[in-house]
Amino acid sequence: MPACADFEPLPDQGLVPRYCAERFGIDPAVFAGHVFWRRAGSRLIRIADRGCRPPPGVGVDSIGMQVMRRPPPRGKLTSVFLQRFAAGATRNVYRLGDAEALRFMARETVSITPVDDASGYAVVIGPDGVLGCGRVVGEQLHSEIPRAWLHDA
Amino acid sequence: MTPTAGLDHLRRYAPIVDDMPAFLAAAGAPLPRVVWSNPLHGPLDRTDARIVELCPEARPVGWRPHTWRLPPETLPGRWPLHTIGGIYGQEEAALWAGDLVGARPGERVVDLCASPGGKTAQMAISMADRGTLMANDRMMGRIPALRRTLDRLGITCAVVTRLDGVHFPRPEGGADRVLVDAPCTCEGTTRKSAGGRRAAPGEGYRHSIAQVQRALLRSAVRIARPGATIVYATCTYAPEENEGALDALDPSEVAIEPLTPPPGLKTCPGVPEWGGVYFRPDVVHAARIWPHHNDTGGFFVARLRRL
């Protein structure tokens, strides 16, 4: 996969799938047909369709979808990445009803009973699908939904 | 304010509109909201059912599957289903332009004026999110909205660039399809509750934007490979910005293809003459969407074949 001026393929293409499998039980097969990229000179990771070729010699603002700002295990997966790829997650998953989902999307904290690893990042699923990334601290599920989304409407 | 207040400038289109009172009445009425279900989010039937559950007044758009018309006062942008990418809200009249590009999986597609990304997203979905979709917009301030649309809908086949579309570099081998959703005087957006343009555009602005439109079209012809599809679209009625822009193209380089609108969508042909100026004969193959024919905004679209 040829690089462009601003992005290059991530040297270890298994890095994100391994983390997703270990932490969330996401089948690595969901990433088949995609390539992980990193912005040149930074730790930012993105994912794009394998057939997506950034043009060489052209300034590129972004390619595909942002995965995380820095690599695992410290990096946090973006909510848009989880919405697209985490529907089949089996570990550290929290399912919310309508009212709790609305609160979570409003960046409010929701009370939960911890499962699996008991703390850290989680996949949060609502009635309409994956809502995004949460963070479990004790019996609290903190919303990691971007503030900017509150202004989507 | 009366519904038709501020719309007197639209009377210049009396020679080309079939029913001026109906046109003005529609151009001043609130615009129904339209949303479509995103196949990248999940099963379309499930999303469709959820739309009806959230808005029982939702009615299917007859000419396009998985597309729903909602009452003007509905705010689907506040639904979590919207925030997580299940649906996208788009003006109904604009939808056909994105469909007409006919993008296919694995192709190289260029959207020269992409933000806020509705038609870009339509094309990505048409490509099954596979291939290279160059989503370009010259305006830095419009890039975040474009990125948010692509991210929200789960699209991974797009490369976002911030270049002047007039000088957009030709992809190696040329683009398979190019969309020019050109900046325009936006006369067809008078029905939007927010952001709609009612003030009459100045003639100086109309002239300068027409020059930009012609330059963008020439750029699209330059970057398209032989046989490629180019779609030109605006949300304005002005023939100077529509048929006039097509007329400026070299007929030996591009042909304007006849269009067959989907059943249920009423369109009118491009006008062959305006203000005493006669355009190339095949501009009649373009399509005009008038607000009173389908209860939508106004739109113009043409599909060209690179020769």
- Predicted pLDDT at B6: 81
Is there a domain that residue B209 lies in?
Answer: yes
**Chain A within 8 Å of B281 (Cβ-Cβ)?**
no
Mark whether B212 and B269 lie in a shared domain: yes
**Chain A within 8 Å of B150 (Cβ-Cβ)?**
yes
Residues spanned by the domain of B43 = 31-89
Interface touch A80/B159, C-beta < 8 Å: no
Is there a domain that residue A128 lies in?
Answer: yes
Nearest CA in chain B to A126: B80
Indicate the average pLDDT of chain A.
Answer: 94
| Last residue of one domain, picked from the residues B43, B61, B89 | B89
Chain A residues touching B106 at Cβ < 8 A: 51
Q: Which of B84, B123, B137, B157 to mutate to test the interface with A (most CBs of A within 10 A)?
A: B84
Mark whether B68 and B133 lie in a shared domain: no
Is there a domain that residue A55 lies in?
Answer: yes
Nearest CA in chain B to A101: B80
Which uninterrupted H or E stretch holds A7?
A: strand A7-9
**Chain A within 8 Å of B198 (Cβ-Cβ)?**
no
Interface touch B152/A80, C-beta < 8 Å: yes
- The more confidently predicted of residues B184 and B6 is B184
Chain A residues touching B85 at Cβ < 8 A: 80, 83-84
d(CA B78, CA A153): 5
Mark whether B161 and B81 lie in a shared domain: no
Mark whether B201 and B283 lie in a shared domain: yes
B215-272: pLDDT as tens digits: 999 999 999 999 999 999 999 999 999 999 999 999 999 999 999 999 999 999 999 9
Mark whether B278 and B162 lie in a shared domain: yes
Indicate the average pLDDT of chain B.
Answer: 95
- Average pLDDT rounded to a whole number, residues A103-125: 96
**∠ at Cα A141 (A138, A144), nearest 5°?**
130
Chain A residues touching B78 at Cβ < 8 A: 153
The CATH number linked to B181 is 3.40.50.150
Which uninterrupted H or E stretch holds B83?
A: helix B80-83
List, edge to edge, every strand of the sheet that includes A120-126: A93-95, A120-126, A129-137, A140-143, A110-111
Mark whether A133 and A108 lie in a shared domain: yes
The CATH number linked to A118 is 3.10.450.720
- Predicted pLDDT at A58: 86
Is there a domain that residue B142 lies in?
Answer: yes
Mark whether B69 and B106 lie in a shared domain: no
Mark whether B77 and B183 lie in a shared domain: no
Is there a domain that residue A56 lies in?
Answer: yes
The CATH number linked to B73 is 3.30.70.1170
- The more confidently predicted of residues B190 and B271 is B271
Interface touch B151/A65, C-beta < 8 Å: yes
Q: Among the options B55, B157, B186, B235, which is catalytic?
A: B235
Mark whether A69 and A4 lie in a shared domain: yes
Mark whether B147 and B264 lie in a shared domain: yes
Is there a domain that residue B26 lies in?
Answer: no
| Last residue of one domain, picked from the residues A44, A75, A106 | A75
Is there a domain that residue B105 lies in?
Answer: yes
What's the gap in Å between the CA of A131 and the closest CA on chain B?
A: 6
Strand boundaries in A11-127, DSSP class E: 34-39, 45-49, 62-63, 65-68, 93-95, 110-111, 120-126
Give the CA-trace dihedral at B219, B225, B227, B228, to 10 degrees. Answer: -60
**ipTM rounded to 2 decimals:** 0.95
Is there a domain that residue A84 lies in?
Answer: no
d(CA B68, CA B272): 34
Is there a domain that residue A117 lies in?
Answer: yes
Chain B residues touching A103 at Cβ < 8 A: none
d(CA B54, CA B216): 41
Domain count, chain B: 2
Nearest CA in chain B to A125: B84
Alpha helices in chain A (DSSP H): 15-24, 79-85, 98-105
User: Across the interface, which of B40, B151, B159 has its CB nearest the CB of A52?
Assistant: B159
Mark whether A96 and A61 lie in a shared domain: no
Task: Inform me whether the pLDDT recorded for B78 exceeds 70.
Answer: yes
d(CA B303, CA A105): 41
Mark whether A69 and A97 lie in a shared domain: no
Which of A70-79, A144-153, B5-14 shows the lowest mean pLDDT across its residues?
A144-153
Mark whether B78 and B135 lie in a shared domain: no
- Average pLDDT rounded to a whole number, residues B175-198: 85
Question: pLDDT tier at A150 (50, 70, 90 boundaries)?
Answer: confident
Domain count, chain A: 2
What's the gap in Å between the CA of A5 and the closest CA on chain B?
A: 12
B113 is catalytic: no
Chain A residues touching B86 at Cβ < 8 A: 128-129
Residues spanned by the domain of A131 = 91-153
Mark whether A71 and A95 lie in a shared domain: no
Interface touch B161/A34, C-beta < 8 Å: no
